[in-house]
Amino acid sequence: MNILLVYPEYPETFWSFKSVLKYISKKAAYPPLGLMTIAALLPQEWSKQLVDVNVTKLKDEQIDWADYVFIGAMIIQIPSAQEIINRCKARGKVVVVGGPAATSQPEVFQGVDHFVLNEAEVTLPLFLSDLARGNAQPVYTSAIHPDISQTPAPLWSLINMKHYVSMPIQYSRGCPFNCEFCDIIILYGRQPRTKSPQQLLTEIQSLYDAGWRRELFIVDDNFIGNKKNVKAMLPHLIRWQKEHNYPFQIITEASVDLARDPELMKMMSQANFNKVFLGLETPSLDSLKECNKLQNTNTDLEESIRILHTNGLQVMGGFIVGFDSDTKRIFEDQIRFIQNSGVVTAMVGILNALPQTQLWHRLRREGRLLQNSSGLNTDANVNFIPRMGITELLEGYQKVISTIYHPRHYYQRIHVFLKNYQPTTIHKINGKDLLAAAKSMWKIGLLSRARFLYWKLLLKTALTRIKSLPTAVELAIMGAHFEKISRPIIRAKSDRSV
């Protein structure tokens, strides 16, 4: 059996870093972890190819080779996924689709032969069993959240690692919190399930054996959702990193209560974690309560960020405007909070009603849903009727974006961040790092409107915080990407008649 696994294209977004990739000679940020794991769950004797259209084109010969084409996609990838489905069906192929987008809204896909939805450890064996008997059904779904301690390591052999910035692995699924707008608990439940320490180390070792030596992204939506298991696992990871001379810098996602756990922060730093994404959302206490983000209401968010920075964990923050409780003051409040906290990588988006979330169901009951979510919350579009009015929301959002990614404000945040940042991770500078720095000196230091800010940053950092110089260069490069992403948002003239 010949199986072709295809990962659809994603557009340029806040997290695609397509502008950054040119500096470091890469084609995409991350490879498709889900499809590589699916491949490992398929019968070993089957022949498999994986095409990530973000790094290479899908060829007709590859489609013709396949007996079955497997496609996995997020909501933002739906248009590309449908194009791939159409191409495959035109060449007479059987198409199997799964992943978050299909699980939450299978009705948007046309021409699919089999949907294998929810978590593949449960539904894929059902499909394969029926397929072997010649009785495969159109849809396979399950409400069961499986134990992931038996999930196999991804098939790294299906990709060319040199195309990617970072390698993704998964330690846990699920989140204990109950945020109204979030689809993680819809997809994976509120009981965080983890892999065993040895299972995780086996996956990490497989990456090391394959030659990878750079960034590792633990893609869990809340890495510390099960603190007891995380604290039991981290000593094993610390020991492995030390024994292998710290080949990986690690980034992940977590909840803000990490800042209230000194032991956990110390262990993460010792394991060579250097970045953590937090859903900070908003400085408005009323809006946090509205969306049930209660874990953010019992702490000083600015102080929590400062604590994480002093523990060597650079905070990347997610922010939202458009809650029902938001007033016209929220836009200035967001700007002030982001600037004062030194969250350099600040992803600010308009509230999105993702399919099947509690927010989606509430807005539908209230007759306020306008359209399906595009999966991209960092654009000037609204898929529901906001309390403050669409015009006010969009104009306020554009003000936030035009302010925080203006070079003057962006570099100001870098200085605030570096003032508190105490780097603890071991980072080995290589030739590609030096080349990226050289390119930044040319593209940013000579050709961009941020050139004076750029040289001031590098000079000050070199004189006062030399250990943070690689981080300063990286943030300057990322700033060029964020400024580019912000331009169409600022220029957008969306329909504001509703």
- 297-303 contacts, C-beta under 8 A, 24 or more apart: 299/256, 299/257, 299/259, 299/260, 301/256, 301/337, 301/341, 302/337, 302/340, 302/341, 303/259
For 270, which DSSP code? H
Burial of 404 (0-12, 13-18, 19+ CB in 10 A): buried
- For the chain, give the percent of residues with pLDDT over 90: 89
5-28 mean pLDDT: 89
Q: Which amino acid is at 403?
A: T
Q: Which fold has domain 165-418?
A: TIM Barrel (3.20.20)
Q: Tell whether the model's pLDDT for residue 121 goes beyond 80.
A: yes
- For residue 377, the model assigns a pLDDT of 67
Q: Tell whether the model's pLDDT for residue 496 goes beyond 50.
A: no
- For residue 18, the model assigns a pLDDT of 81
Task: Render 152-215 in DSSP notation, one character per residue.
Answer: PPP-GGGS-GGGBSEEEE--EE--S---TT-SHHHHH-SS-EE--HHHHHHHHHHHHHTT--SE
Q: What is the pLDDT of residues 235-275, one digit of tens each?
A: 999 999 999 999 999 999 999 999 999 999 999 999 999 99
Among 99-113, 363-377, 452-466, the minimum mean pLDDT is found in 363-377
Q: Tell whether the model's pLDDT for residue 395 goes beyond 70.
A: yes
55-71 mean pLDDT: 98
For 56, which DSSP code? S
Domain 2-140 is classified in which CATH homologous superfamily? Cobalamin-binding domain (3.40.50.280)
451-472 mean pLDDT: 96
**How far is 44 from 41, CA to CA, in rounded Å?**
8
- Distance in angstroms between the alpha carbons of the first and the last residue of the chain: 52
- For the chain, give the percent of residues with pLDDT over 70: 99
- For residue 103, the model assigns a pLDDT of 97
Q: Tell whether the model's pLDDT for residue 376 goes beyond 80.
A: no
**Which tokens sit at 223?**
């890495």
Q: Tell whether the model's pLDDT for residue 497 goes beyond 80.
A: no
Q: Tell whether the model's pLDDT for residue 493 goes beyond 70.
A: no
- For residue 238, the model assigns a pLDDT of 98
Q: What is the pLDDT of residues 79-106, one digit of tens each?
A: 999 999 999 999 999 999 999 999 999 9
Q: What is the pLDDT of residues 242-251, one digit of tens each?
A: 999 999 999 9
Average pLDDT taken over every residue of the chain: 95
